[in-house]
Structure 1
Amino acid sequence: MGNFIWDTNLKVRLMGEGLFNLLFWMYFPFITVYFGEALGYHTAGLLMAVPPVFSMLGSLLGGAMADRMGRRPVMLIGTVLQTAMFACFALSSSYWIDYFSFIGIGIGGAIYRPASSAMVADLVPAQHLRRVFATFSTSNNVGAVLGPVLGAIFFFHYRQELLWTCTVVLLLYFIAINRLVHETRPFSLNKERISGSVLHVLKEQWRGYGIIFRDKVFMVYIAAGIFALIPIMQLDMYLPVYVMEHVPSQALFSWKGDSFMLSGKEIFGWMVGFNGLLFVVFILPVTKWFQHWKERNVFILSSLLAGAGTFFVGVNSNIWYLFLITIIFTFGEMVRSPVTQSFISRYAPGHARGQYMAADSMQNTIGKFLAPITVFLSSWLHPMGIFSLILGFSLISIMLYIRLFRMNVEQQGISA
């Protein structure tokens, strides 16, 4: 990391987000299955397409607020909203209250993320961004190693206790942000006064987003990211449905006539845990290996590995084969994560960094909106038809990334 010194803000976020993500991965991979078993997978596929719409609106609002109010207040708002929604989820006795609580959790996280990412970009020099974002990815994925394995037990048998633990951890994180985190919004922005009615403020922020959405290079980047993320998101969407319905119970290993048997649910939990383990062990080395690669080539490689890797899940149901394929699609996700965040941090102008971060998150929220189409179509299509569709999305993203960097070079040539 050279001579870069970690700010207190970064340390608090690294520990707080890392702890919460341990709990997050104990429930999130199973949420589609949870609603699918209760309401039917056809209904669940439709329902899971709705939360990203609200998350997108929350993200746009959070980004605008981060540039206007500051990063810290918006992070506090997002955290307290998630805390309240987890408490509501824990107290609920209705699947529909569970569902609306899940939407609220997503909105709180969407409000939080642009301000959080903007804070990193405010504090970290451009040459260190990839490494810092990779470190955050490592912290966030430590929980992904054990979370899904434990979640296969705790989410289905001790759900209330798990949700209350999430509530308490987020409450403690809210207190830590309030006491230890300082504001990082650029000084030139701090001199601006917050004035006018709420309607006036919203109109002003919408005009700011209008400028961003007319940025053709940026919009191609968003479109490419949407198609690239749909295959990556299948780990939380179609893959649990496929593995639990089509992968038979089998032995992980045998020893002297005894076998360690895993059910479909447990096999999926191990796959997600292995995915997280790969992130923890390899995210920093992979970031270093690819630090001299052009961003264009990293994005293309990511889309190819994620799409092809997910496609080949449907070829064989052997547990060790599935672990091998998990390596392929995990590396597809892994190589893009730090590059995506460093690309937009460098591309966005300082005065609108929060809004660009929020607009950048649209690829994630729109991707989540479209990703459940695989679950919805699984009632009619053969699994290989679904996996072929997923591969098609990744090929579209590759073509868009090629177009993006051609446009970016042309734009830089004109402005030079």
Structure 2
Amino acid sequence: MKIRSWNNNLKTRLIGEALFNMLFWMYFPFITVYFGAALGNHIAGILMTVPPIFSLIGSLLGGALADRWGRRPVMLLGAFLQTVMFALFAVSWSHWIDYIAFIGLGLGGAIYRPASSAMVADLVPAQSRRQVFATFATANNIGAVLGPALGAVFFFHYRQELLWTCALVLLLYFIAMYAIVHETLPRSAKNPEAPASISRAFKEQWKGYGVILRDKVFLVYTLAGIFALIPIMQLDLYLSVYVINEVPAQPLFPWNGDTLLLSGTEIYGWLLGFNGLLFVLFILPVTKWFNHWQERNVFILSTLLAGGGTFLVGISTNIWFLFFVTVIFTFGEIVRSPVTQSFISRYAPEHARGQYMGADSLQATIGKFLAPVTVFLSGWMPPMGIFSLILALALISTALYIQLFRMYVEKPEAAG
């Protein structure tokens, strides 16, 4: 599905989200450092455990409201809340106000995302969803590659200007959505007899989430996703600890002697940048290559590549071997990314698509809580013990995906 044939809703959002994500990655990687310098690393570490809880609440709320109010109003609400929070961050007179604004930014983004994903599912035929979701992921990850390099300068030296720019871009995006984006909520999702009171409306929505979480297929899908994401998340967690502490300084090109000698910290930075570059360059072609694969096989391949590639990191500390295994576990992440959204958009009933998109965030939220256990255990276990645990989690995820697709048979169009 070529971009020129996209609905105006999708074109507007692709441009707006690409610009915002560039700015997002100019401040987000440095937030923990910022609060650590201001409040101490111990307090900052505790404070960083709170935003994922608000993000989970925002995702569930945004998904529920997207099925009740419509996609467009919820996306406008999320964008407006983020605009206000960026402005508050820019004029803040206290680090605690900064922290409140940071939580508000996460909440606004979490409210926005389920409605955004549901709108893609509303507008795009099932056989084209992987490609469209992959295009959005590419736009987002361009910012993830370029943003940190720019943010290292702008966030610490021109923070207010950066935050005001973020607020302005989001305000312009809000105006563009208001003027161009139209509602896509399917007729089957509209409820002419909506509850009169807000409290009763929310009670019905939370009851709806109870029904979703009792859905055995969705529950197995969520558990499989949690075990699959823990290995994928290790790049920012245990791999940083391992590479920085265990990988010796070595030249990038052995035949040049010590002319390009890299420390463990610098090697980790190169691996991180290489991971982001691979994601940007290959997510669209890889999605196209696997477009005719069944989702079952894509999920299994992704999990084995991510878990197996991460396990192989512990085999050798040679820099070029580390680049090689980075390719393996990055491709595991690339293969998985568009398929998760296309699967849930197909599985979810039309009238509850937003709620299912919101509940889908449980995987990432629970994964973020559990993934740091590898860093905690590294104080008692040798590196290969940690890498073996990561591989075991990937194998558990693979078994759960096999069970999932015994319970749920893909529709014919699922493979494209």
Residue 279 in structure 1 maps to residue 267 in structure 2: no
What is the match of residue 211 of structure 2?
A: 211
TM-score, normalised to structure 2, is 0.87
Instruction: Name the stretch that deviates more: 59-68 or 207-216.
Output: 207-216
Q: Which runs of 5+ in 1 are unaligned?
A: none
What is the match of residue 181 of structure 2?
A: 181
Q: In 1, Cα distance between the equivalents of 2:311 and 2:46?
A: 23
In the TM superposition, residue 170 of structure 1 has moved relative to its aligned partner by 2.0
In the TM superposition, residue 93 of structure 1 has moved relative to its aligned partner by 6.3
In the TM superposition, residue 411 of structure 1 has moved relative to its aligned partner by 12
In the TM superposition, residue 272 of structure 1 has moved relative to its aligned partner by 2.8
What is the match of residue 294 of structure 1?
A: 294
What SS is found at the alignment partner of 2:259?
strand
Cα distance per residue 1:139-185 (max 9 Å; x no partner): 11122232334444544555444444333322222222122211111
Q: In 2, Cα distance between the equivalents of 1:235 and 1:98?
A: 27
Q: In 1, Cα distance between the equivalents of 2:399 and 2:40?
A: 36
In the TM superposition, residue 85 of structure 1 has moved relative to its aligned partner by 2.8
What SS is found at the alignment partner of 2:184?
coil
Residue 308 in structure 1 maps to residue 308 in structure 2: yes
What is the match of residue 321 of structure 1?
A: 321
In the TM superposition, residue 131 of structure 1 has moved relative to its aligned partner by 1.3
Instruction: Name the stretch that deviates more: 212-221 or 379-388.
Output: 379-388
Instruction: Describe how 1:4-23 pairs up with structure 2 within 5 A.
Output: 5-23=5-23
What is the match of residue 228 of structure 1?
A: 228
Instruction: Describe how 1:3-402 pairs up with structure 2 within 5 A.
Output: 5-32=5-32, 46-92=46-92, 96-155=96-155, 158-190=158-190, 192=192, 194-247=194-247, 251-253=251-253, 259-260=259-260, 266-378=266-378, 381-402=381-402
Report the number of matched residues. Answer: 412
| 8 Å contact from structure 2 (residues 16, 173) kept in 1 | yes
Instruction: Name the stretch that deviates more: 103-112 or 258-267.
Output: 258-267
- Counting aligned pairs with the same residue, the percent is 72
Q: Match for 2:311: what amino acid? A: F
Q: Match for 1:220: what amino acid? A: V
Q: In 2, Cα distance between the equivalents of 1:373 and 1:117?
A: 30
| 8 Å contact from structure 1 (residues 144, 277) kept in 2 | no
Q: Match for 1:359: what amino acid? A: A
Instruction: Name the stretch that deviates more: 6-15 or 167-176.
Output: 167-176
In the TM superposition, residue 120 of structure 1 has moved relative to its aligned partner by 0.3
In the TM superposition, residue 35 of structure 1 has moved relative to its aligned partner by 5.1
In the TM superposition, residue 226 of structure 1 has moved relative to its aligned partner by 1.1
| 8 Å contact from structure 1 (residues 48, 372) kept in 2 | no
| 8 Å contact from structure 1 (residues 148, 272) kept in 2 | no
Q: 1:101 to 1:361 in 2, by over 3 A?
A: same
In the TM superposition, residue 41 of structure 1 has moved relative to its aligned partner by 6.2
| 8 Å contact from structure 2 (residues 78, 111) kept in 1 | yes
In the TM superposition, residue 360 of structure 1 has moved relative to its aligned partner by 1.3
Q: 1:278 to 1:357 in 2, by over 3 A?
A: same
Q: In 2, Cα distance between the equivalents of 1:302 and 1:100?
A: 37
Q: Match for 1:352: what amino acid? A: A
| 8 Å contact from structure 1 (residues 267, 319) kept in 2 | yes
Q: In 2, Cα distance between the equivalents of 1:387 and 1:91?
A: 45
Cα distance per residue 1:263-315 (max 9 Å; x no partner): 55554443333222212221121112112222111111111111222233344
Q: 1:326 to 1:22 in 2, by over 3 A?
A: farther
Q: Match for 2:202: what amino acid? A: L
- CA RMSD in angstroms comes to 3.1
Q: 1:92 to 1:48 in 2, by over 3 A?
A: same
What SS is found at the alignment partner of 1:192?
coil
Cα distance per residue 1:332-363 (max 9 Å; x no partner): 10101111111111111111111111111211
| 8 Å contact from structure 1 (residues 25, 148) kept in 2 | yes
Q: 1:241 to 1:403 in 2, by over 3 A?
A: same
Q: In 1, Cα distance between the equivalents of 2:262 and 2:30?
A: 17
Q: In 2, Cα distance between the equivalents of 1:284 and 1:28?
A: 25
Q: 1:38 to 1:406 in 2, by over 3 A?
A: farther
TM-score, normalised to structure 1, is 0.87
Instruction: Name the stretch that deviates more: 139-148 or 358-367.
Output: 139-148
| 8 Å contact from structure 1 (residues 244, 265) kept in 2 | yes
Q: 1:114 to 1:125 in 2, by over 3 A?
A: same
Q: In 2, Cα distance between the equivalents of 1:326 and 1:111?
A: 33
Cα distance per residue 1:350-384 (max 9 Å; x no partner): 11111111111211222222223334445555544
Instruction: Name the stretch that deviates more: 174-183 or 317-326.
Output: 317-326
Q: Which runs of 5+ in 2 are unaligned?
A: none
Q: In 2, Cα distance between the equivalents of 1:45 and 1:385?
A: 25
In the TM superposition, residue 258 of structure 1 has moved relative to its aligned partner by 7.9
Q: In 2, Cα distance between the equivalents of 1:388 and 1:39?
A: 36
| 8 Å contact from structure 2 (residues 3, 11) kept in 1 | no
Cα distance per residue 1:214-246 (max 9 Å; x no partner): 110111101111111122122333444444455
| 8 Å contact from structure 1 (residues 50, 369) kept in 2 | no
Instruction: Name the stretch that deviates more: 190-199 or 365-374.
Output: 190-199
Q: 1:368 to 1:159 in 2, by over 3 A?
A: farther
Q: Match for 1:55: what amino acid? A: S
| 8 Å contact from structure 1 (residues 62, 358) kept in 2 | yes
